[in-house]
Amino acid sequence: MKKDDGWFAGGSKKAPSHGLDQAACWVNNPRDMMNLQNALYWNRLLWSNQKAPQSSWDNKNIQSLRTYWGWNEVPLAMDAARNLQYRSAVVIKLPAAICPYSNGGVDTIACLPYGHQENLEGDLTLWVNAKILIPGWDNVAYRPGSYIVFAREWADIGPNYKYVNWQRWFYCENWVSPNRKFQIKYLPKDKTNPYGACYIDHYYSAVASTAQARQEVVV
């Protein structure tokens, strides 16, 4: 509850994360936005009262740092935001350092709890129905199309845990959604496919295509 956040009080107290909505300024380009994000994160102990969201940050407990609401707003024309031709890929961003006993550098969607994977399957269904995402290998080159990319966040830990800076790594992996509705396929680069691919397909369509290909090879 905002009334319980106990912030500002004439400037004598720290603020919850949603205080940034009142205090932060607009920027007009992504680079300034990232610089502001970083400055807010590096100085979070100076301004955040850790009440919204409730958190208790400890650099030696990397997962505790995940409970941080940052801030990002950059002005964008509505027609540009709604132009589907600009949608090169759908990014699936994993929670920071999601896998146990890791700083996030080897994170995989397999560490995402089953219920969360079901939620992701539901989100993908909404995007497919809205034609923001169009499954199938034949749609890899189209915009919008079937292209997918995963992102993991890993912690760059300073000496004696003095600081923790987060880095983001884009990658791809194979994944089948919990109810066998979708499949994300990773095709690494090779001599016949110099670009590789990472795309979504309907699960049973992908299985049928693979079975057909195997049958053709046998024949």
Which residue ranges make up each domain of the chain? Answer: 1-75, 78-219
Per-residue pLDDT of 134-193, as tens digits, reads 999 999 999 999 999 999 999 999 999 999 999 999 999 999 999 999 999 999 999 998
d(CA 90, CA 88): 7
Q: What is the pTM for the complete model shown?
A: 0.83
Residue 20 vs residues 49, 127, 141, 209: alpha-carbon distances, Å: 12, 30, 39, 50
Q: Model confidence at 219, in pLDDT bands (50, 70, 90)?
A: very low
pLDDT the model gives residue 218 = 45
Q: Is 42 left (phi over 0), alpha (psi -120 to 50) or beta?
A: alpha
Per-residue pLDDT of 54-106, as tens digits, reads 999 999 999 999 999 888 777 788 898 889 888 899 999 999 999 998 899 99
Q: Which of 1-10, 96-105, 117-126, 140-149 is the least confident region?
A: 1-10
Q: Residue 182's beta-bridge partner residues?
A: 202
d(CA 218, CA 213): 9
CB 90 within 8 A of CB 147: yes
pLDDT the model gives residue 169 = 95
